[in-house]
Chain A
């Protein structure tokens, strides 16, 4: 059994709480026994080697795994204390309240304006659409760059702008949590910096979980860091698990597990 240290002092109020979560793809166990709390208005980073199940766990939080026919989630995930996987919970409503930004920017082939208005429309937004679009773009630090081309295709933007458009799109529907799966991995350093600054801004109002392979990024933007690792079973499958979860400076400077120490210092595997 893995040890998971937890510093109780930093857990203000858990927005999301995973307890003994296991995820299967078909009959293969992909991740086991993940227990962690995501506290209110904090940035939590998920780090770990490829294939250890970071994305998988992330996708459990907004029930995106429901869309993968073979995926099965066991254990308990609560959102403000309510079981996310209870039969009376609507996954569609869950996804409105827990937004997601993907690894590759995926703006819709629509105008910049429509990219943002889309989510608001389908969720029955009754306010002023122009205001909402402007406000979301401003908060995503994109307004000044695109304000004169709102009717142009979102696909005409650069990769970094596209990713900020996707962030704007996500915050336009007023989620409480934003899940980000390697949001900067397809971006150049300058765009990455912009997105990181943006995350610092967004932290004031949103709870953020970010998966990243970039150690500096994790240490720069996050308050807490979860390190995952994978081990091979007898069958030859790799099963991911949570090694250590603590305040980011503890993980990077003084981790309790040796694997964590090796991973964050780049002496891994």
Chain B
């Protein structure tokens, strides 16, 4: 002890400060250890990525990587146009967000503004469970249910005169059903997080709006949703990064054909699907193909990082502090 304070009834009060200090120290060290392990793991992953990516760009020019329009790293004539894989990822994630944004946002609004408290109490946890369904299930759902369904739908449309001629053929592997199912998969995420944001808008704002003669719809669309905007945007961005990084569904349902373009009816290969393809094959460590997956991984990492930075900035910029 640094200073001995005079004590009136020292016989009665004798806390064991030494022991509690020791316990404190041990607990602190254990937590610090855990923290260091997780930070070190992340750092290790990023360092490996950087190391192998640099090795990759030692053999392939970064200009080719960014401008080539073919992706054939496993062929004799190797081409590394990452734009091919990015276009596929962009396509599936784009379709996914077209599906998930209206679906997720509407269910969030319904749940927080229109559902009774009892209904909300039941549905909210169900939504969160849905977000935890393994993605391989969604992948098979896309491949074995959604694709055949869409195919028969397309075939039916093709029987119509005039417009029937414009209906394309849907291949067994395609970006459309992968994207749709990806969208269904991230809908609970959008719904649940947006619902949190909408629900946490203070009741006093709603009261203020009603007291000015606003209807419920006006209150929701013009006061509550704008007030929850930053939370909604960050939930959507989180869902997009989830869609970009999602692997199982797109590998199973979208196919393995690296193809540049945004045609949703044909097989394509996303960045994640390529990583799966190489990882599953017997590519020797240290070979160029092996380094390629690190370069692709790095690209994926940078894409999501940029998205998350944007989300971070947006939330900081537009979050309203009510207190």
Q: Which residues of chain A have a CB within 8 Å of any CB of chain B?
A: 62, 64, 67, 92-93, 95-96, 99-100, 102, 104, 106-110, 118-119, 122-123, 153, 155, 166, 169-170, 173
Taking a contact as CB atoms under 8 Å apart, the answer to whether A155 and B213 are in contact is no
Query: Is the Cβ of B320 less than 8 Å from the Cβ of A155?
Result: yes
Contact B210 A67 (CB under 8 A): yes
- The answer to whether A108 and B207 have CB atoms under 8 Å apart is no
Tell me if B75 counts as interface (CB < 8 A to partner A): no
Top 9 nearest A-B pairs (CB, nearest first) are A96-B213, A119-B212, A109-B320, A100-B211, A106-B204, A106-B208, A95-B213, A109-B227, A122-B218
**Sample (17) of A-B pairs whose CB atoms are under 8 Å apart:** A67-B206, A95-B213, A106-B204, A106-B208, A108-B208, A108-B223, A109-B227, A109-B322, A118-B209, A118-B214, A119-B213, A122-B213, A122-B215, A122-B218, A123-B213, A153-B320, A173-B213
B89 vs chain A, min Cβ distance (A): 35
How far is A204 from B209 in the complex, measured between Cα atoms in Å? 26
Tally of B interface residues using CB under 8 Å: 21
Q: Nearest B residue to A116 by beta-carbon distance?
A: B212
A166 neighbours in B (Cβ, 8 Å): 208
Q: Taking the nearest CB of chain B, how far is it from the CB of A200, in angstroms?
A: 23
Complexed CA–CA distance, A164 and B143 (Å):
61
A100 and B222 CA atoms in complex are apart in Å by 19
Roughly how many angstroms separate A166 CA and B207 CA in the complex, as a whole number? 12
**B316 on the interface (CB 8 Å rule)?**
no
| Chain B min CB distance to A79 (Å) | 14
Give B230's nearest chain A residue, CB to CB: A109
A108 touches B205 (CB 8 A): yes
In the complex, chain A residues whose CB is within 8 Å of the CB of B214: 92, 118-119, 122
Question: Is B125 engaged at the interface, CB distance under 8 Å to the other chain?
Answer: no
Known pairs A109-B226, A109-B227, A155-B320; A99 contacts B212 (CB<8 A): yes
Q: Which of B206, B207, B222, B322 makes the CB contact (< 8 A) with A155?
A: B322
CB contacts (< 8 Å) of A62 on chain B: these are 211
Contacting residues, chain B, for A104 (C-beta < 8 A): 204
Q: Encode B264-294 as 1/0 by CB contact (under 8 A) with A.
A: 0000000000000000000000000000000
The answer to whether the Cβ of B202 comes within 8 Å of any Cβ in the partner chain is: yes
State the Cβ distance, A157 to closest chain B Cβ, in Å. Answer: 13
